[in-house]
Each structure stands twice: as C-alpha cells, then as structure tokens.
Amino acid sequence: MEAKDLSLAEQLAATYVEKIEAAYKEELAGHERQVGNIVEVGRLILEAKEAVGHGKFTPYVKEKLSFGIDKAEARMTIARCHEIENSAN
C-alpha cells in the first residue's frame, strides 16, 4: 500500500510504530531507566491511539506492534497514572 493510499491519521499512526518499538526494546533490555521507558512506551501508545482514531486501535496494535493489546493497555494505564501523579506534585 502506498503512502498516498493511507489516510492522514493512518500515516500519523504509522510514525509511532518505530518510536514505540524502540522504547519497548529499551524497556525489555532492563536499562536503568526501566520505569521511565515503560512510561514512555505508554505515552507513545496513547498518542498513537489518538492518531489512529476510534475503533482502529486494537487492529493497529495487533498488526503493527510486537506485543499485544494487554501490554499496550497496561502501559497506557501506567503512563496515565504517572501523568496524574506528576500533576499533583
């Protein structure tokens, strides 16, 4: 499929795949910033979810990412909690 065949939202969402995968690999590697990496993966997934649009997120995760919807949802939850915690301080 050529880029011109993709909607703007699909093109935007595609740009997140590489970023999400890179952050996820860092998380798995057990770097010192592991919690920060988990939060970053979650933040990127939240942005991608918004870009993909309603009803397209689960297929996006299944088709594009190397991990499943359960891990994606867990990381989004962690990112949301981290954001709430930081805004309270």
Q: Which has more pLDDT, 3 or 31? A: 31
Q: Render pLDDT for 41-63 as a digit per residue (tens, 0 to 9).
A: 999 999 999 999 889 999 999 99
Alpha helices per DSSP H over 1-89: 8-28, 34-52, 57-64, 69-88
Q: Which has more pLDDT, 45 or 14? A: 45
Q: What pLDDT, on a 0 to 100 scale, did the predictor assign at position 11?
A: 82
| pLDDT over 60 at 39, yes or no | yes
Q: Where in the chain are the domains? A: 3-88
Residues near 72 by beta carbon (within 8 Å), at least 6 away in sequence? 45, 61, 65
DSSP label at residue 54: T
Angle at 46 between CA 40 and CA 70, to 5 degrees: 90
- In this prediction, residues 66-71 reach a mean pLDDT of 95
- In this prediction, residues 28-49 reach a mean pLDDT of 84
Given CA atoms 20, 26, 28, 32 in this order, what sign does their dihedral have? Answer: negative
